[in-house]
Amino acid sequence: MDDITAKSTHETNGSFTNANDLDTLSLAFSLQHIDYIDIGQQEQLIAAIQRWPLLSELMQE
């Protein structure tokens, strides 16, 4: 248990891409790989692009 806690803490302190529940769960349950799309993050990204016509136009190129 101590080992799991230590690993989780380390990972969530890393870059923001790792700072989500999925990574913590993967470590806690030793999941090797899940084909998972972070919908929350993807929605934020889409909203960011749609907010600004310049970003939208450049993404379409």
Partner 1 sequence: MAIIGLQGIRGGTGTTSITAALAWALQQLEESVLVVDASSDNMLRLFFDIPINRSEGWARATLDNQHWQQSAWRYTPSLDILPFGSLSDSEKKSLFYESALCNKFNEYLTVLKDSQRYKWILVDLPTLSPAVTTAWSEQMDHLINVAHPDGNCHIRLCRQLLDSQNYLLVNGLQVGSKLQNDIYQVWCHTQQTIIPVAFHEDEAMAESMAMKKPLGEYSPHALVAEEVMTLANWCLINLADQRL
61 binds partner 1 (CB under 8 A): yes
Distance, CA of 55 to CA of 14 (rounded, Å): 28
58 binds partner 1 (CB under 8 A): yes
How many binding residues for partner 1 (CB under 8 A)? 13
Residue 19 near residue 12, CB atoms below 8 Å:
yes
Distances in Å between the alpha carbon of 35 and those of 23, 26, 60?
12, 12, 26
44 binds partner 1 (CB under 8 A): yes
30 binds partner 1 (CB under 8 A): no
Using CB under 8 A, list all residues that contact partner 1.
15-17, 44-45, 48-49, 51-52, 54-55, 58, 61
